Structure 1
Amino acid sequence: MGAEQIRRWESGALAYAVSDPFGQGPLPWLRGSEQYYGDTGQFIPWYAEHVEQAERADTAGHVRADVETAATVPRPRVAGSGPRTADDVHRQIKGFTSTGAVAPGEAVDFHITVDPPQQFSVDIYRIGHYNGDGAAKITTSPRLSGIVQPAPLAADRTVSCHHWWLSWRLQIPVHWPVGAYVAVLTTADGYRSHIPFTVRDGHPADLLLLLPDITWQAYNLYPEDGRTGASLYHAWDAHGRLLGEEDAAITVSFDRPYAGAGLPLHVGHAYDFIRWAERYGYDIAYADARDMHAGRVDPTRYRGLVFPGHDEYWSAPMRRTAELAREHGTSLVFLSANTMYWQVELGPSPSGVPDRLLTCRKRRGPGRPALWREIDRPEQQLLGIQYAGRVPEPHPLVVRNADHWLWDATGAHEGDEISGLVAGEADRYFPRTTLPEHQDRILLAHSPYRDGDGVLRHQETSLYRAPSGALVFASGTFAWSPALDRPGHTDSRIQRATANLLDRICKRD
């Protein structure tokens, strides 16, 4: 088959990966030196495992064992011998959890398909700093027997695997720390996939980090097989061609794996913040956007709510919770752009499990418009700025009001350019749109960039203080969280500015 005939889904590349300006392949969250072969036959960074004894070769070439703990450095592999990423065409191993975020003492149910049927294992990792590794292995499952689950069900572009059999139930020990976790699935013949999940609790903390699982699902194109997969952005036609929003799904299901390697689009933005924040020692609790929707988040327990990644899809209860937080003096920190753009609804699965179906009609069909700004509730009334458009190529963020405390000790001066920090999508202040009620308000960046048509536009970063005393910060760019702890993207000025903000929210100044 000639290169021009290979469809994107046959090449192993995610159809939507081109929209992620910080895509690092399937694993944006891992550290270390172990490697595996990707679909192109090229080495891709994997992770380092820590063991009690690491094999070393002495000067004579003999292998000896050091007693000190060390990270294994694997020997070079021959092509095809290492772990390989499972895909949605052959479904070597794919899975999802039928439970949302869980608390210590509760259980996570995994539904996994394995083709051909064989044994597999599940390694559970927690995302964090961990001396730079980025994640730590918490436990490993016993060897499990894999089966080929039924084909996904599809109705009106909605794809669901709610009929898959339970494969493994993980009881979360009460001593496990809350946080963002990833289950790494590996078959006996070396195929690998991932399932993210969250362990939460309701205890007070300085900061509550909210993982944008609703937005993650909106972008999920599973199965990316050229036939049945659909997201709120794409679907396939009968010839395996990728269609746009007009033909995409209106409702998508949480009862299915994530496409490709099993990690959501933009997941790395949240993991970048987590690694950095845990390195700096912030007191953080964890929850998902669906927890916020379902009323399981009491914002008065926290000094601030942090939205670390792309968080585009919000339900009405989510917005009410955020507004309640601001009214009660709980600060809001939005570290991405295009936040709270589409209004969505959540409904039960066919078996009655709540909040397993996500619906957004966008501009199709009967009912009111789905854009918050089109129902006279623009995002700017909460964020202080709102979505302006895509940024095709990264541009510098231009510092404004450099004498403000946010820029203290950063070394940033008025008009300084922070390279590549305006990227992906951008927000700005809309003068004709109502501002939120505030005691004081300031724009901390004003950055020109060219849109896809070459038109000159600008990005802005906003901070205001609500009458309650709550601070509301909006970075106005996708690139803020990656600047905290993404190799090749870190910037000490953004790290310091973010610490200035969180320290003030946590009353550390």
Structure 2
Amino acid sequence: MGAEQIRRWESGALAHAVSDPFGQGPLPWLRGSENYFDDTGQVVPWYADLARSTGGGTRTADDVHRQIKGFVSPGAAAPGEAIDFHITVDPPQQFSVDVYRIGHYGGDGAAKITTSPRLSGIVQPPPLAADRTVSCHHWWMSWRLQIPSYWSVGAYVAVLTTADGYRSHIPFTVRHDHPADLLLLLPDITWQAYNLYPEDGRTGASLYHAWDERGRLLGEEDAAVTISFDRPYAGAGLPLHVGHAYDFIRWAERYGYDLAYADARDLHAGRIDPSRYRGLVFPGHDEYWTTPMRRAAERARDGGTSLVFLSANTMYWQVGLAPSASGIPDRLLTCRKRRGPGKSALWREVDRPEQQLLGIQYAGRVPEPSPLVVRNAEHWLWDATGAADGDEIDGLVAGEADRYFPRTSLPEHDSRILLAHSPYQDSEGATRHQETSLYQAPSGALVFASGTFAWSPALDRPGHVDARIQQATANLLDRICKRD
């Protein structure tokens, strides 16, 4: 199969009805199944012609021609620290890096913070691949960004643009350890698990897919066991499901919540003191957890810090992190998925089901969006939403769903309630149920789990916003933050 025939992840703002906050044409904010529904209800494929211009005089770089691609190390840093950019440009030419911060800026989804000098681009060596592990750790550093002391913490995106108009992106996080009401944890480990870079029909591999010698995409049995953070993200350079986190950020910053920022590897490495925060927020798909991550979350809860999980399929796979070949910590992610010695397993298979932290756990995929059905509408979470028992919130059970498993033990709690109980059809046509959970731990901490992928998009994604979900989320966060 020729390179031109390989289908590419190409999508953009139109894919979830969001105007591009960078003003540079469509971006792949959310990439899930092969199709999405546009505003007219029509099914539209995520894939588009590789050669299609994305507008604004720029074109999206791809993983075959590698017009411009890059990654950063580390992925999160504090003001006063540096982030190193490793970028390849083909053909060699000048390029620039525009740095944006995601947030609510008068309705825009991001603001430009700085622009690099004009930089000289080179063709970096091809990615190295061994046992399906793809790494670009041997790429030369192209630019060092020293983070000024006055920069705000937050989720940032670097937009790379060549002189001839090709563009790619790199996400990174600016963090600090100052106290705040809420700490937002970006799921960079799960983002990397889905990264198929390079999507070239030959080399790329994720924890889900790899290519065979004929350019066919293989499934999990033949996927990578270990993947590297030392490589770009596939396609336009933004991770799968990154939009979920950005949806929450835009909404939370619009309403003035006091947010700190970190990523999952910060939680893993012990860089987070939960006692500095009233709540930890997990805004997006956060499927892959290390043992230190889980211990940290449990310690947070037991110490009185609340936990807010705004997606589904959380903490499903147990994974390990290891240093790169050059000794940089936490640059290799391993998940054996029941294969080989020392195999990784589902948390529930090592007698530590995720329900013991979340209150519910993963039940399965949701092939078609279904309504979320309100339960226990008299609870304070539903105050001022206008919701009544049995009310349906259209399309809010989508992607994947969690539910309560009666035969699985619950976490220790002083109170517990299910706030939604929603039927949906699985891929076999059988009726399943999604549930939304809230419990209060003996420490006083609240633990909320939405049980669906569609909760964060309902906060701030045009075409998906639901005022009831916005109000319910505000009720939850206000209680955690002890707002009047």
Q: TM-score range by the shorter chain?
A: over 0.9
Tell me, yes or no, if structure 1 residue 500 matches structure 2 residue 478. no
Partner amino acid for 1:155?
A: A
Tell me, yes or no, if structure 1 residue 282 matches structure 2 residue 282. no
Structure 2 CA distance for aligned equivalents of residues 207 and 24 of structure 1: 31
Structure 2 CA distance for aligned equivalents of residues 98 and 450 of structure 1: 43
Label 1:25 to 1:488 Cα distance change in 2 as closer, same or farther (>3 A): closer
Tell me, yes or no, if structure 1 residue 296 matches structure 2 residue 271. yes
Equivalent residues of 2:17, 2:463 under 8 A apart = no
Structure 1 CA distance for aligned equivalents of residues 17 and 395 of structure 2: 21
Equivalent residues of 1:255, 1:356 under 8 A apart = yes
Out of 105, 127, 135, which is 1:160 matched to?
135
Tell me, yes or no, if structure 1 residue 12 matches structure 2 residue 12. no
SS of the residue 1:129 aligns to: strand
**Aligned residue in 2 for 1:211:** 186
Tell me, yes or no, if structure 1 residue 235 matches structure 2 residue 210. yes
Structure-to-structure mapping, 1:382-397, within 5 angstroms: 382-397=357-372
Structure 2 CA distance for aligned equivalents of residues 386 and 27 of structure 1: 30
SS of the residue 1:128 aligns to: strand
**Aligned residue in 1 for 2:35:** none
**Aligned residue in 2 for 1:424:** 399
Equivalent residues of 2:16, 2:461 under 8 A apart = no
SS of the residue 1:382 aligns to: helix
**Aligned residue in 2 for 1:377:** 352
Q: Deviations over 1:154-189 (max 9, x none)?
A: 000000000000000000000000000000000000
Partner amino acid for 1:159?
A: V
Equivalent residues of 2:285, 2:312 under 8 A apart = yes
Structure 2 CA distance for aligned equivalents of residues 26 and 152 of structure 1: 32
Label 1:330 to 1:194 Cα distance change in 2 as closer, same or farther (>3 A): same
Tell me, yes or no, if structure 1 residue 488 matches structure 2 residue 450. no
Tell me, yes or no, if structure 1 residue 112 matches structure 2 residue 73. no
Structure 2 CA distance for aligned equivalents of residues 423 and 465 of structure 1: 26
Structure 1 CA distance for aligned equivalents of residues 343 and 122 of structure 2: 44
Out of 225, 228, 239, which is 1:253 matched to?
228
Which runs of 5 or more structure 1 residues have no equivalent in the other structure? 47-76
**Aligned residue in 1 for 2:32:** none
Tell me, yes or no, if structure 1 residue 31 matches structure 2 residue 21. yes
- Displacement, 1:370? 1.4
Structure 2 CA distance for aligned equivalents of residues 475 and 220 of structure 1: 25
Out of 119, 128, 131, which is 2:103 matched to?
128
Partner amino acid for 1:425?
A: E
Label 1:40 to 1:222 Cα distance change in 2 as closer, same or farther (>3 A): closer
Label 1:122 to 1:508 Cα distance change in 2 as closer, same or farther (>3 A): same
Equivalent residues of 2:22, 2:110 under 8 A apart = no
Label 1:204 to 1:32 Cα distance change in 2 as closer, same or farther (>3 A): closer
Equivalent residues of 1:36, 1:83 under 8 A apart = no
Partner amino acid for 1:184?
A: V
Structure 2 CA distance for aligned equivalents of residues 29 and 23 of structure 1: 6
Equivalent residues of 1:334, 1:474 under 8 A apart = yes
Q: Deviations over 1:263-302 (max 9, x none)?
A: 0000000000000000000000000000000000110110
Tell me, yes or no, if structure 1 residue 367 matches structure 2 residue 363. no
Q: Deviations over 1:35-77 (max 9, x none)?
A: 4798467675x7xxxxxxxxxxxxxxxxxxxxxxxxxxxxxx7
**Aligned residue in 1 for 2:332:** 357
**Aligned residue in 2 for 1:415:** 390
- Displacement, 1:442? 0.2
Which runs of 5 or more structure 2 residues have no equivalent in the other structure? 28-47
**Aligned residue in 2 for 1:61:** none
- Displacement, 1:99? 1.1
Partner amino acid for 1:442?
A: I
Structure-to-structure mapping, 1:286-365, within 5 angstroms: 286-365=261-340
SS of the residue 2:476 aligns to: helix
TM-score, normalised to structure 1's length?
Answer: 0.88
**Aligned residue in 2 for 1:225:** 200
Label 1:346 to 1:203 Cα distance change in 2 as closer, same or farther (>3 A): same
SS of the residue 1:134 aligns to: strand
SS of the residue 1:268 aligns to: helix
Tell me, yes or no, if structure 1 residue 175 matches structure 2 residue 150. yes
SS of the residue 1:96 aligns to: strand
Structure 1 CA distance for aligned equivalents of residues 70 and 16 of structure 2: 15
TM-score, normalised to structure 2's length?
Answer: 0.93
Label 1:383 to 1:258 Cα distance change in 2 as closer, same or farther (>3 A): same
Label 1:483 to 1:7 Cα distance change in 2 as closer, same or farther (>3 A): farther
**Aligned residue in 1 for 2:443:** 468
Label 1:145 to 1:25 Cα distance change in 2 as closer, same or farther (>3 A): farther
Q: State the structure with more CA Rg.
A: 1
